[in-house]
């Protein structure tokens, strides 16, 4: 159960997620150990639940971040190129960077400028985060993520941190072959995680995984 993984420290949280079978890979464990959630979650950073970051956005629960990393892991190798759509707090973008360094690049896209600024400020709280930004390993940009981020495409892995109203072909187009997309998609009142694989021959396979509750992937707010 999700709440059982909460801990008093970042280390305890990651250990509990591992003990509860929510993290199975040592690489994911190490990456999540190396990024202190307290730099990204303004409240209860070591609780296994989502927390508000303002602008109607939340930093997702740690077990969801772990699930995203675990499912994308074969495509998160040293040197990989990654797109994190709906980067919000910037936490998962930083964890992806831990998984693909040395080399590689992660672009975090959010459509709310104050959240792009927040993610950058959060990363700047640690020496490792400052180094990620300075070296270009991590970049945060403002854009409508439904269109992906063409400039750095194609990507080995694309993560979407907000629920899409439809299957966006543009995102599949921006995947390498092979490459993988992890995306929550709305179907009526419910949302499910889909994993979309573009295979080496360019063919596409979609798998529906499990039910979730994400903030919607929407139009940018006015102003
Ligand atoms: N992975 C983030 C999740 C943040 S919540 C984290 O754990 O911190 C979802 C985010 O998606 C919000 O920051 C919201 O601003 C962003 N978002 C919603 N619609 C978007 C769109 N069309 N383009 C880019 N970002 C979007």
Please say if 60 is a catalytic residue: yes
> Helices marked H in the chain — which ranges?
10-19, 26-34, 62-72, 91-100, 113-123, 127-135, 169-173
Q: Which candidate in 5, 49, 60, 89 is catalytic?
A: 60
Which pLDDT band holds residue 220 (cuts at 50, 70, 90)? confident
Q: Is 216 helix (H, G, I), strand (E, B) or coil?
A: strand
**How far apart are the CA of 164 and the centre of ligand 1, in A?**
11
Q: What is the pLDDT of residues 41-100, one digit of tens each?
A: 999 999 999 999 999 999 999 999 999 999 999 999 999 999 999 999 999 999 999 999
The residue among 47, 48, 126, 51 whose CA lies nearest residue 89 is 51
Q: Whose CA is nearest to atom 6 of ligand 1?
A: 59
* Contact of 193 with 223, CB cutoff 8 Å: no
**CA 112 to ligand 1: nearest atom:** 15
Pocket of ligand 1 (CB under 6 A): 57-60, 85-89, 91-92, 109-112, 115, 144-146, 161-162, 215, 217-218
**How far apart are the CA of 217 and the centre of ligand 1, in A?**
7
Q: What is the pLDDT of residue 199?
A: 98
The residue among 163, 158, 152 whose CA lies nearest residue 198 is 158
Total residues found in the chain within this entry: 223
């Amino acid at each position: 159960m999700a709440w059982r993984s909460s801990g008093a420290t970042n280390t305890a949280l990651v250990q509990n997620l591992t003990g509860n079978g929510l993290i199975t890979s040592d690489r994911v464990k190490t990456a999540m150990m190396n990024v202190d959630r307290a730099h990204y979650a303004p409240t209860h950073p070591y609780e296994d639940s989502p927390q508000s970051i303002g602008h109607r956005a939340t930093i997702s629960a740690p077990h969801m971040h772990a699930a995203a990393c675990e499912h994308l892991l074969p495509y998160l190798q040293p040197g990989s190129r990654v797109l994190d759509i709906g980067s919000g707090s910037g936490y998962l973008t930083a964890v992806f960077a831990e998984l693909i360094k040395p080399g590689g690049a992660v672009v975090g896209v959010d459509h709310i400028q104050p959240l792009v600024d927040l993610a950058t400020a959060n990363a700047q709280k640690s020496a490792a985060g400052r180094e990620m930004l300075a070296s270009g390993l991590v970049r945060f940009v403002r854009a409508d993520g439904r269109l992906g981020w063409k400039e750095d495409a194609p990507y080995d892995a694309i993560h979407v941190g907000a629920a899409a109203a439809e299957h966006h072909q543009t995102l599949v187009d921006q995947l390498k072959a092979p490459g993988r997309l992890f995306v929550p998609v709305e179907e009526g009142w419910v949302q499910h995680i889909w994993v979309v694989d573009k295979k080496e021959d360019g063919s596409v396979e979609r798998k529906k995984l499990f039910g979730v509750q994400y903030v919607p992937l929407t139009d940018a707010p006015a102003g």
